[in-house]
Amino acid sequence: MNPYAQRRARVLAKMREQGGGVAIIPTAPEVMRNADADYPYRHDSYFYYLTGFTEPEATLVLIAGATDQAILFCREKNEEREIWDGYRYGPAAAKEKFGFDAAYAIDTIDTELPKLMANVNALFYALGSSQKLDTQIQAWLNSVRAQARAGISSPSKAVDIRVLLNDMRLIKDEHEIAIMQRAADISSHAHARAMRTSKAGLREYHLEAELLHEFRSQGSQFPAYGSIVATGANACVLHYRAGDAELRDGDLVLIDAGCELDSYASDITRTFPVNGKFSGPQKALYELVLNAQAAAIAVTAPGKRFTDGHDAALKVLAQGMLDTGLLNKNNVGSLDDVIANGDYRQFYMHRTGHWLGMDVHDVGDYRDHVPEGEQKPWRTLMPGMVLTIEPGIYVRPAEGVPKEFWNIGIRIEDDALVTASGCDILTHKAPKTIAEIEAVMRA
């Protein structure tokens, strides 16, 4: 069975546990950018997870009824449109190729859906996620309700299908892990390429171009998010994008960039000296962030909590802030005080990681599921989860902060797969230690 059909079978089993019903999962709409130019099309992640189908204007319907059924609605073949826009499967070929029980033209959905929703207890869909879907469902429901006097009942319950799907998507299967490993490899090569290219006088966009070249030439379809290439003080702007600032001798460059491959994201940050050699103060803060990341990696293992990595990294970073004089002990007190009072936030203002998958900030609850009313603990890590580990330190000029550290911004970000005994760093091919980075940049 193909991995998508396997996932559909699992969703249907979960729907059945909740009394059965009909699930409706549309793909994403096409979006215009300006005039006749549209944004590059990206399908909906939930839809793709269950179909492997990448065309726009498609909807998956799953029926957990007397028998299980998976039905695709998609665009019909259209010779005229295919001359302009390229191949489309059409229902017959899509059914065959992707293993659906039936497939119909998307134009028939308004007549077919009310039939499929007749005498069904529950609807499963992404509640309130799209005005278009909400409006369609209202119309389909009204059409079923109109047949009440003919003895036809309509669904009386709506369940947010994302609750089922998010839990499934949080644990990656073998098919997904293989793609994520390849995406991580491509992005690792891209970071190494940017390091090798760097020299004073180039601009941030030159390094962005190197990243994009590597992504695309290795088969990635898109960057998974807007690439950050930030040199000098720009590295202290968390959501800076690659701009046109000049790379200057003696400055660092922070690159946060990852490719999307076959719908799966990678997410890597590396920070390196423009000229290939870390200065003393840069080295001191870089080692600190590296040690914080190592502490987080050490507690990324099954049975640990999602937040254990953040807590471990924070402890190392906060101690380092005291040791380097970024924070003045006389003003802020002990390590415990710095953590309790949040003084570290002056230099470290984000969390240490997030789930990673088809979406760069992937779906999945960050809290364990517990009976209603009980306090939810942070999620327990399990094999198959993938998360980023990305501590950093950002020093904006301020009174009392040693000048030698001003405008240094450092983040080190890797993608970790939780295994049976610990974690695998999928992005291990991106040079990371000072020795590795300086060696790559010397070569």
Looking at beta carbons only, is 210 or 390 nearer to ligand GLY? 390
From the list ligand GLY, Mn ion, none, partner contacted by residue 208 (C-beta under 5 to 8 A by kind):
none
- Alpha-carbon distance of 89 to 105, in angstroms, equals 11
Looking at beta carbons only, is 260 or 308 nearer to ligand GLY? 260
Instruction: Assess 360 for contact with ligand GLY (CB under 6 A).
Output: yes
Is 390 annotated in the active site?
yes
Is 104 annotated in the active site?
no
Is 374 annotated in the active site?
no
Nearby residues of 203 by Cβ (< 8 Å), 6 or more positions away: 244, 245, 246, 247
- The catalytic position among 36, 79, 372, 374 is 36
Nearby residues of 279 by Cβ (< 8 Å), 6 or more positions away: 250, 273
DSSP conformation letters of 388-435: EE--EEE----TTS-GGGTT-EEE-BEEEEE-SSSEEETTTTS--SHH
- Alpha helices by DSSP H, 99-235: 109-116, 131-145, 161-170, 174-197, 204-217
Q: Footprint of ligand GLY on residues 338-357 (CB under 6 A)? A: 354
Is 256 annotated in the active site?
yes
Is 350 annotated in the active site?
yes
For residue 244, CA distances in Å to 220, 251, 253 come to: 25, 15, 13
Is 204 annotated in the active site?
no
Instruction: Assess 267 for contact with ligand GLY (CB under 6 A).
Output: yes
Instruction: Assess 112 for contact with ligand GLY (CB under 6 A).
Output: no
- Alpha-carbon distance of 9 to 12, in angstroms, equals 5
- The stretch among 155-163, 397-405, 411-419, 420-428 that binds Mn ion (CB under 5 A) is 411-419
Instruction: Assess 415 for contact with Mn ion (CB under 5 A).
Output: no
Tell me the closest approach of the beta carbon of residue 225 to ligand GLY, in angstroms.
5
Looking at beta carbons only, is 27 or 187 nearer to Mn ion? 187
Tokens read off for 153: 């009942």
**Number of chain positions touching ligand GLY (CB under 6 A):** 7
Beta carbons within 10 angstroms of residue 13's beta carbon: 12
Where does residue 364 rank: exposed (0-12), middle (13-18), buried (19+ CB within 10 A)? buried
Tell me the closest approach of the beta carbon of residue 427 to ligand GLY, in angstroms.
12
Instruction: Assess 366 for contact with ligand GLY (CB under 6 A).
Output: no
List the catalytic residues: 36, 239, 256, 267, 350, 354, 361, 390, 394, 411, 413
Question: What is the contact surface with Mn ion in residues (CB under 5 A)?
Answer: 256, 267, 388, 413
Question: What is the contact surface with ligand GLY in residues (CB under 6 A)?
Answer: 225, 256, 267, 354, 360, 390, 413
